[in-house]
Structure 1
Amino acid sequence: MPQVLEFKLPDLGEGLTEAEIVRWLVEVGDVVAIDQPVVEVETAKAMVEVPCPYGGVVTARFGEEGSELPVGAPLLTVAVGSGGGADEGAGSGSGGAGSGAGEVESSGNVLVGYGTGAPVARRRRVRPTALTAAAPARVPVAAVQAAAPAAAPVSAAAPAASAPVSVPGAAPDAVLGPVAVVSPLVRKLARQHGVDLRQLVGSGPDGLILRADVESAIRALEEGAGVASLTAVPRPEAVTESASGAVARQSAHRIPLRGVRGAVADKLARSRREIPDATCWVDADATELMAARAAMNSTGGPAAGPKVSVLALLARICTAALARFPELNSTVDLEAREIVRLPEVHLGFAAQTERGLIVPVVRDAQARNAESIGAEIARLTEAARAGRLTPAELTGGTFTLNNYGVFGVDGSTPIINHPEAAMLGVGRIVPKPWVHQGELAVRQVVQLSLTFDHRVCDGGTAGGFLRYIADCVEQPAVLLRTL
């Protein structure tokens, strides 16, 4: 007989305690292989595909796309065993879930930053071909439930999913999988708007009530076409006037602070609370820097490798400046009341993505030349836009470079990326009138700004650092001393 095993949201590392479901990669009734990715989740650090350690038939999914789950909450259940297409010898031993069941294989693989679970004493594989031999790739849930001796255990972390939900027009036991899976987020949304879930017919599998069903009921209520039994909880509203003079009320749009956006909000707020920051800035003539970059990229042909970007040159200038002014490559230990100067430069750079502003980190930037830094920046930027960055690639920075010039602005006073001590901001490089060699000329000018933690150094050090940066921008040959 098959066993119904519960797979819980694993520990994703880096102290993360929750994740948002972005996209399910499997449906109820699908046959999955061991270590097959089953769901894509977003944490405060990165987008992650979570693999399932079991092979079998998916009998239930917990949580809808857009909902948040804590680590340890049920993620899905899988029917595993000889009755569901497992190995013939699954009846021996006692390593699985459920009393009297045979030993069930789990991969036990642990990925960097997140894992599928702990290893088991004995490793055996479920053959997906055996599962598909008795049924199509999509197996009816009712058939799996009839064969399973017991329902999958439910974690105490998800009490909202512990009771069946009655759905009009469906059989009393018509719930998704062995337990009801109405999301806590759906229940909360319905409760906030006074929506009676018993009056709704779910559009999900087996009549499951989805978030879209509740939102549809709320919209119908607001448009005056709702069910009489539904009463809305008052919400903040914005009042607008139409062309005819009639007044229309629109509900305020609420955006949850979670995932990457929530993590950024927490970090920026903490930076403002803890760090006494100050900002200094200077205009610099970047004409020679642009000419030097053009010369680098015009020689050597295709064999010379990828072109060197302006950001890579500025990053290399930063590492040279930090070698001269190590105070700015440090952090403050509040408990010990100490300034900790760091030996390596892990250079973060701000990158705008569809999921918001994130800061990938170039490791050991002090040991790289401009070409190497540029190649790593390009790799990390591509991974960031695709949502493939790992938590390790988003943490551990010691200094941040912020090129806000790409947004067409000249200057800014950036917020320090806590717990770092400084951030260099770079504005757009544009032609401006400039006094060059005693005469007025049109030159390529950029504004540089440095926001620094006033606890780690005084204005003289910060000014010296920024002036060295500006000197290297104006006369790139200055860097030859450190190359």
Structure 2
Amino acid sequence: MPQVLEFKLPDLGEGLTEAEIVRWLVSVGDVVAVDQPVVEVETAKAMVEVPCPYGGVVTARFGEEGTELPVGAPLLTVAVGAAEGDAVETASAPAAAAAEESEGSGNVLVGYGTGAPAARRRRVRPAGPAGTAPSAPPSSAAPVLTPQPAAPPAVVPADGPVPVISPLVRRLAREHGLNLRELAGSGPEGLILRSDVEAAIRAAEAPAAPAAPAAVAAIGERVPLKGVRGAVADKLSRSRREIPDATCWVDADATELMAARAALNAAGGPKISVLALLARICTAALARFPELNSTVDTAAREIVRLPEVHLGFAAQTERGLVVPVVRDAQARNAESLTAEFARLTELARTGKLTPAELTGGTFTLNNYGVFGVDGSTPIINHPEAAMLGVGRIVPKPWVHRGELAVRQVVQLSLTFDHRVCDGGTAGGFLRYVADCVEQPAVLLRTL
């Protein structure tokens, strides 16, 4: 007899408590192998393919595409141990063996998925005269698998705890004077999601809004702040609330830096990017001014100076702004930095960055010059203490060796947490960066 096992949304790591179903990769009746990805979900960190630890026939799915589910909610059920030929179509021996797996692999963790290839899909044949499967010998007969309906939501006792997806949602309700017991949760077993509370807030505020004249009434487009965009919004809001930031900037003659890059690339080997050279300058500057490679522990009222430079860089994608992190950037040369920037940028473009590749940064390099602008005052990437901004490099009039000349000029800006250092330290850091841009030979002292 086959056994129906329930697969729940696993812990995706990094403190994530929920995920949105973006795309189902299997349907009811499909045969799945152990560790085969079955659903693509979007968390506040990244897009993730979730593998199933069971092999067998999918009998039910829970949640439509676009639905948010909390960690631990049922994703699907799988019937394992089905006899080949009774419930599924005949297939090759390897695929049949994969379908008969009855033990989980244990590889579903922290939202990464596995690299196992997907098994060939096979579907349960519908029962009845219109789709009757070929008869089998009596000795091999087995019950036909049928989809299992989802269990009805449990009723929460009137005097029991209210099931809420996270403390943040509970606080949101409290700040708006909502009674959670009066809300009907749309999550599994009546779980109250953030969307439920936000909908109740909109409903409560709607009557207070003045009615617009019918002739000019308009409905604006509402874009949910969720997934990556929602996480960015929360982090930037927190940064503005907690960090007393300041910005200083300077123009620098980047002509010699561009010439040095051209000479490096003409010498053969992998091409070196401008971003990699700027990153190398950053790590050298942070070695001189370690105050800026730090974070503030507000609870302990301490500044924590960090030994390694995990360099974040801003990358714009179709899903919003993300900040991939280059680990141990201080130990990399320009060639290694170029390769790592290229790898992480491609993963960002395809939405395949893992949570580990999006967290843990200690300093951010923001090349907003790619958008065709000269300057900016960016928001610090909390909980970091500083961000270096780089504008576009363009020909401008410049006094060079006492004479007016056309040079390649770039504007550099440093936004810093004024709690970790004063303006003298921030100015010294930025001036050193500008000196390295104008005279790359300055870097030879630290190589």
TM-score range, shorter chain: 0.7 to 0.9
Find the aligned partners of 2:211 and 2:309 in 1 and give their Cα distance: 49
Per the TM alignment, residue 250 of structure 1 is displaced from its structure 2 partner at its CA by 3.7
Q: Flag the 1:57–1:150 CA change in 2: closer, same or farther, 3 A.
A: closer
Q: Is the 8 A contact 1:73 1:158 kept in 2?
A: no
Does residue 46 of the first structure (1) align with residue 46 of the second (2)? yes
Find the aligned partners of 1:419 and 1:20 in 2 and give their Cα distance: 26
Q: 1:107-118 residue pairs with structure 2 within 5 A?
A: 107-111=105-109, 113-114=111-112
Per the TM alignment, residue 441 of structure 1 is displaced from its structure 2 partner at its CA by 1.1
Per the TM alignment, residue 44 of structure 1 is displaced from its structure 2 partner at its CA by 1.0
- The aligned residue for residue 320 of structure 1 is 284
- The aligned residue for residue 176 of structure 2 is none
- The aligned residue for residue 24 of structure 1 is 24
Does residue 64 of the first structure (1) align with residue 53 of the second (2)? no
Per the TM alignment, residue 79 of structure 1 is displaced from its structure 2 partner at its CA by 2.0
- The aligned residue for residue 385 of structure 1 is 349
Q: Is the 8 A contact 2:362 2:384 kept in 1?
A: yes
Per the TM alignment, residue 2 of structure 1 is displaced from its structure 2 partner at its CA by 2.3
Q: Is the 8 A contact 2:48 2:352 kept in 1?
A: yes
Q: Flag the 1:338–1:48 CA change in 2: closer, same or farther, 3 A.
A: same
Q: Which amino acid aligns with 1:42?
A: E
Q: 1:48-447 residue pairs with structure 2 within 5 A?
A: 48-83=48-83, 104-111=102-109, 113-114=111-112, 137-140=122-125, 147=144, 151=148, 154=151, 247=215, 249-300=217-268, 304-305=269-270, 307-447=271-411
Aligned length: 380
Does residue 476 of the first structure (1) align with residue 443 of the second (2)? no
Find the aligned partners of 1:156 and 1:52 in 2 and give their Cα distance: 24
Q: Flag the 1:183–1:340 CA change in 2: closer, same or farther, 3 A.
A: closer
SS in 2 for 1:284: strand
Q: Which amino acid aligns with 2:332?
A: R
Find the aligned partners of 2:257 and 2:2 in 1 and give their Cα distance: 68
- The aligned residue for residue 165 of structure 1 is none
- The aligned residue for residue 223 of structure 1 is none
Find the aligned partners of 1:72 and 1:293 in 2 and give their Cα distance: 51
Per the TM alignment, residue 25 of structure 1 is displaced from its structure 2 partner at its CA by 0.7
SS in 2 for 1:272: helix
SS in 1 for 2:398: strand
Per the TM alignment, residue 387 of structure 1 is displaced from its structure 2 partner at its CA by 1.3
SS in 2 for 1:79: strand
SS in 2 for 1:105: coil
Q: How does the TM-score come out when normalised to structure 1?
A: 0.71
Deviations 1:35-59 (A, max 9, x none): 1101111111111100111112212
Find the aligned partners of 1:11 and 1:329 in 2 and give their Cα distance: 31
Where does structure 1 lack aligned partners over 5 or more consecutive residues? 88-101, 117-127, 160-179, 193-232, 241-245
SS in 2 for 1:48: strand
Q: Which amino acid aligns with 1:278?
A: A
SS in 1 for 2:22: strand
Q: Give the alignment partner of residue 464 of structure 1, picking from 411, 415, 428.
A: 428
Per the TM alignment, residue 409 of structure 1 is displaced from its structure 2 partner at its CA by 0.6
Find the aligned partners of 1:297 and 1:475 in 2 and give their Cα distance: 18
Q: Which amino acid aligns with 2:325?
A: V
Deviations 1:315-346 (A, max 9, x none): 00000000000000011111111111100000
Per the TM alignment, residue 80 of structure 1 is displaced from its structure 2 partner at its CA by 2.1
Per the TM alignment, residue 140 of structure 1 is displaced from its structure 2 partner at its CA by 4.8
Find the aligned partners of 2:155 and 2:58 in 1 and give their Cα distance: 19
Q: Is the 8 A contact 2:59 2:79 kept in 1?
A: yes
Find the aligned partners of 1:310 and 1:283 in 2 and give their Cα distance: 17
Q: Is the 8 A contact 1:308 1:374 kept in 2?
A: yes
Q: Which amino acid aligns with 1:70?
A: P
Q: Flag the 1:114–1:374 CA change in 2: closer, same or farther, 3 A.
A: closer
Q: Which amino acid aligns with 1:463?
A: G
Find the aligned partners of 1:3 and 1:238 in 2 and give their Cα distance: 58
Q: Is the 8 A contact 1:38 1:49 kept in 2?
A: yes
Find the aligned partners of 2:332 and 2:367 in 1 and give their Cα distance: 20
Find the aligned partners of 2:5 and 2:433 in 1 and give their Cα distance: 59
SS in 2 for 1:251: coil
SS in 1 for 2:437: helix
Per the TM alignment, residue 439 of structure 1 is displaced from its structure 2 partner at its CA by 1.1
Q: Flag the 1:75–1:157 CA change in 2: closer, same or farther, 3 A.
A: farther
Q: Is the 8 A contact 2:60 2:149 kept in 1?
A: no
Deviations 1:128-171 (A, max 9, x none): 89xx9xxxx22257799x74699578597999xxxxxxxxxxxx
Q: Flag the 1:84–1:268 CA change in 2: closer, same or farther, 3 A.
A: farther
Q: Is the 8 A contact 1:57 1:84 kept in 2?
A: no
Q: Flag the 1:286–1:20 CA change in 2: closer, same or farther, 3 A.
A: same
Find the aligned partners of 1:86 and 1:234 in 2 and give their Cα distance: 60
Find the aligned partners of 1:61 and 1:235 in 2 and give their Cα distance: 41
Indicate the larger mover: 104-113 or 340-349. Answer: 104-113
- The aligned residue for residue 6 of structure 1 is 6
Q: Flag the 1:150–1:437 CA change in 2: closer, same or farther, 3 A.
A: closer
Find the aligned partners of 1:62 and 1:415 in 2 and give their Cα distance: 39
Find the aligned partners of 1:406 and 1:424 in 2 and give their Cα distance: 14
Indicate the larger mover: 276-285 or 104-113. Answer: 104-113
Per the TM alignment, residue 249 of structure 1 is displaced from its structure 2 partner at its CA by 4.1
